[in-house]
């Protein structure tokens, strides 16, 4: 169970008040230890002054430190017990470091306190223990500053993770939309040039591709919402086992695809690696159908002893691509390269001698440090 900051502040105030109450010379104390009503009320006000301001110590830590330090000095001037006031001042010093608007203030005050402690120890060997309170005060400032540094590091790490997740979702959306919409566009463009004998088959194919796109988008948007229970039948993350289904979908657009696998996996690829392999095949096949519609495509998935290799080769297009260009802004190959780099693999892409295009990607098994794809 996590305690809210306001509840923690309230608990701190209560602890500091209870710790200070025994220092009040109450009326029922034995003679010589009790005091008159005005004096009791004065000490009670002093107790509240050094404790209650901690309700606002996250907003105005320097003001709270000033109240605690004033109470400490006043108790010393009255020759009263300063332990509770010292505890309040050390806590306030931590608050300056942890919640202050400027970290330099806490660092400077901490350094000065430690310097005073060191000076007392060096200059007055007989009374060097008097420097201990100053050392504790300096440590409180610096510990609070360290807490601030940790919060900033945690926030930076969370922001980096958020940006990485956004980039991953963007790649997934690109892959889904580019593949499905390109397939629909090529299929429709081909039908415009060569009207099919049975238009219902064309409509059925376009409908199926559209439904698959909607299913994938639902999955990705559900990931953004983190609402898994709302759609238990959501399509799972694609794996290499579904590449065959992907190839079948490409074939329905009129593109002949020769898909084959070589060897066996030495170890089971991780889910992330399987997703990357699926997306690389999807993007490469999409590019082939988009830029060389009708050209034969050969897809090879080869399992080597230490890595998985994907090779996609397409011939030259028999006819120009129908309709206007359906470019995706050049994110296809860069997107593949990013996935390959993520697993420390290698990628090569370029035209072939017969006017086609060849793409090859090699990804090691498991998680390895990323390096630049060549």
Contact 20, 50 (CB under 8 A): yes
23-32 long-range contacts (CB < 8 A, ≥24 apart) are: 23/47, 23/75, 23/80, 23/81, 23/84
Rounded to two decimals, the pTM is 0.47
Q: How confident is the model at residue 367 (pLDDT cuts 50, 70, 90)?
A: very low
Note the residue count of the chain: 374
Q: What is the mean pLDDT of the chain?
A: 79
**pLDDT score of 176:** 65
The kind and range of the H/E element at 313 are strand 307-314
Q: The tokens of 137 are what?
A: 């005060």
Q: Tell me the pLDDT tens digit for each residue of 95-129.
A: 998 888 888 888 898 889 888 888 887 877 666 77
CB-count burial class (<10 Å; 0-12, 13-18, 19+) for 360 = middle
Residue 204, pLDDT above cutoff 60: yes
Q: How confident is the model at residue 323 (pLDDT cuts 50, 70, 90)?
A: very low
Class at the top of the CATH hierarchy for domain 239-374? alpha beta
Residue 300, Cα to own-chain centre: how many angstroms?
Answer: 35
**pLDDT score of 306:** 87
Q: Tell me the pLDDT tens digit for each residue of 140-179.
A: 989 988 988 888 888 788 788 777 777 777 776 766 666 6
- For the chain, the structural domain boundaries read 5-156, 239-374
């Amino acid at each position: 169970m996590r305690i809210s900051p306001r509840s923690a502040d309230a608990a701190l105030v209560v602890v500091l008040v209870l710790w200070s109450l025994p220092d009040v010379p109450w009326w029922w104390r034995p003679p010589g230890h009790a005091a008159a009503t005005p004096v009791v009320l004065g000490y009670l006000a002093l107790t509240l002054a050094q404790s209650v301001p901690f309700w606002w110590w996250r907003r105005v830590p320097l003001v709270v430190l000033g109240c605690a330090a004033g109470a400490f000095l006043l108790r010393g001037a009255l020759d009263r017990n300063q332990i509770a006031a010292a505890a309040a001042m050390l806590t306030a010093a931590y608050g300056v470091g942890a919640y202050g608007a400027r970290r330099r203030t806490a660092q400077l005050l901490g350094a000065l306190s430690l310097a005073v402690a060191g000076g007392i120890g060096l200059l007055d060997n007989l009374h060097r223990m008097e420097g201990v309170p100053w050392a504790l005060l300096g440590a409180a400032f610096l510990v609070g500053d360290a807490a601030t540094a940790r919060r900033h590091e945690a926030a930076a790490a969370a922001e980096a993770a958020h940006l990485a997740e956004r980039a991953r979702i963007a790649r997934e959306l690109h892959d889904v939309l580019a593949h499905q919409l390109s397939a629909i566009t090529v299929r429709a463009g081909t039908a415009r040039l060569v009207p099919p004998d049975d238009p219902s088959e064309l409509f059925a194919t376009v409908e199926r591709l559209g439904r698959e796109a909607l299913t994938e988008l639902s999955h990705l948007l559900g990931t953004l919402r983190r609402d898994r229970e709302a759609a238990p039948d959501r399509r799972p993350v694609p794996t290499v086992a579904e590449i065959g289904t992907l190839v079948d979908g490409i074939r329905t657009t009129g593109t002949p695809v020769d898909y084959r696998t070589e060897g066996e996996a030495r170890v089971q690829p991780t889910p992330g690696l399987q997703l990357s392999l699926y997306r690389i095949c999807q993007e490469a096949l999409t590019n082939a159908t988009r830029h060389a519609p009708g050209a034969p495509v050969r897809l090879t998935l080869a399992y080597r002893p230490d890595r998985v290799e994907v090779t996609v080769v397409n011939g030259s297009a028999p006819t120009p691509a129908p309709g206007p260009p359906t470019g995706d802004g050049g994110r296809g190959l860069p997107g593949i390269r990013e996935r390959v780099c993520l697993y420390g693999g290698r990628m090569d892409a370029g035209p072939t001698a017969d006017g086609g295009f060849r793409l090859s990607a090699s990804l090691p098994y498991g998680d390895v440090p990323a390096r630049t794809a060549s």
